[in-house]
Structure 1
Amino acid sequence: MDNKKISTKSSLYGWRNEERGINSPPLDFSFMKATAFDDLENKNLQATRTGRIPKKNQENRYLTSSLWLGHNSITSTAKLQNFVKNALVSSENLSWLDLSFNAIFDIGDEIAEFPNLKILYLHGNNISNMNSILKLRKLPKLRTLTLHGNPIESLPNYRSYIVTILPKLLNLDFSPVISAERKKALPPGFFKIINTSG
């Protein structure tokens, strides 16, 4: 392959990454004291942690695949899909969503609208029903998940349950999922707990 072809291929790959927002800084709405996604619409972006803000397109949507909404007081994921669609150039390309340290008690069905989500932070919330976690099985690319600091963490065999429910996870609660965990047999009454908790 000659240099011209390599250059063309490289620039095309770079363009695709830029269009998808893969190499862009996150859209950071952390620490905004928001109780709902509507509260964030007129807020100034946070740039303290990253030092940069993602680019905008002509429709004032941001070119990024990462959205940070941690350290607010959001209670529900209702309207998350609309918020992401209005904020990002491509909501389908969302790959990292941080909802940590909010007051979320349930994961809504709209989470399935983000098929490219790879990283999901939900630690420090109020999730108590394991059925909420079952909804995450609709995310085929999810590899990193945090749930510690939620009431479900106190369930017996909590980590084993999550690894069983989501067998493609590579990291759970900032700790790698090891092969021994995947081979572990389900404890008695597992499905009963899943179907009746909460």
Structure 2
Amino acid sequence: MESKMVSPDVVSWVENLIEEPENPSTSRNITGSINTKDFDSILYGPVVDYSFRNLETLSDCVKLSPRTGLRPNEYTEDKKLKSCSLRLSHNRLSELSGLDQLIAALFVQPARLFWIDLAFNILTNIDPVLLHCAKLQILRLHANQINNLPEVDKLASLIHLRNLTLHGNPIEQTKGYRSYVVAAIPHLKSLDYSLITKQDRSTAAMMKSFTKRKRITRRKYDD
């Protein structure tokens, strides 16, 4: 009897269900002066999961309750979620208007959000609203429709960003894609689930230097 092929979407769904956010930094500028026990319950709370909900706008989340995984969602007395991670993958989001309001409505400590999964949507650009998540360390944007590589430049201002995924977007097909991203966001530690090596940084630096010289030469020629 022939074995049935497992759909890639099913595999991805299973991986997402069991995936937990990577441990965030616990440096003082993030923990502040709150009680350690309270901090742990918030920071390491279950992922707030709105994946596979066929969402077209973030306002649709208001009508729904987040999924419940192996660990139940934890709420405060005023119905705020004890978590610092948000999953919005496998939906139909084309833009992120209202993200600020959604985060403020859901989380007991919205400013401490460190992990967002927006993979498998139809985003065509990197929405500036993401830059409001100042503590963001892990950002999943793979399998969208981002087609302009310089969009990545916006993420340079997220100084805590360490882990980024962009594979499966049209920009991945651009020559020098990995080097460009590494040069644009030098504080990254991992790109597309692959650690950034010394060779990656060296290649990125060479590419950045070459591009800069090329622009200067072109400017002189135009003048």
Q: Tell me which moved more, 125-134 or 139-148.
A: 125-134
TM-score normalized by structure 1?
A: 0.84
Is the 8 Å Cα contact of residues 77 and 106 (structure 1) preserved in structure 2? no
The answer on 1:143 being equivalent to 2:166 is no
3-state DSSP class of the match of 2:102? helix
Aligned length: 178
Residue deviations 1:19-53 (CA, integer Å, cap 9, x gap): xx112110000000001101111113212xx3123
The RMSD of aligned alpha carbons is: 1.8
3-state DSSP class of the match of 2:164? strand
Uncovered stretches (5+) of structure 2, i.e. residues with no partner? 1-33, 216-223
d(CA) in 1 for partners of 2:79 and 2:53?
20
Uncovered stretches (5+) of structure 1, i.e. residues with no partner? 1-10, 193-198
| Candidates 56, 76, 93, aligned match of 2:75 | 56
Is the 8 Å Cα contact of residues 65 and 93 (structure 1) preserved in structure 2? yes
The answer on 1:161 being equivalent to 2:180 is yes
Following superposition, the deviation at residue 116 of structure 1 comes to 1.0
3-state DSSP class of the match of 1:145? strand
3-state DSSP class of the match of 2:153? helix
Structure having the larger proportion of residues in helix: 2
The answer on 1:107 being equivalent to 2:88 is no
The answer on 1:173 being equivalent to 2:183 is no
Q: AA paired with 2:172?
A: E
3-state DSSP class of the match of 1:67? strand
Q: AA paired with 2:50?
A: F
The answer on 1:34 being equivalent to 2:55 is yes
Partner residue, 2:36 = 13
Is the 8 Å Cα contact of residues 149 and 177 (structure 2) preserved in structure 1? no
Partner residue, 1:23 = 44
The answer on 1:45 being equivalent to 2:66 is yes
3-state DSSP class of the match of 2:116? strand
Q: AA paired with 1:22?
A: L
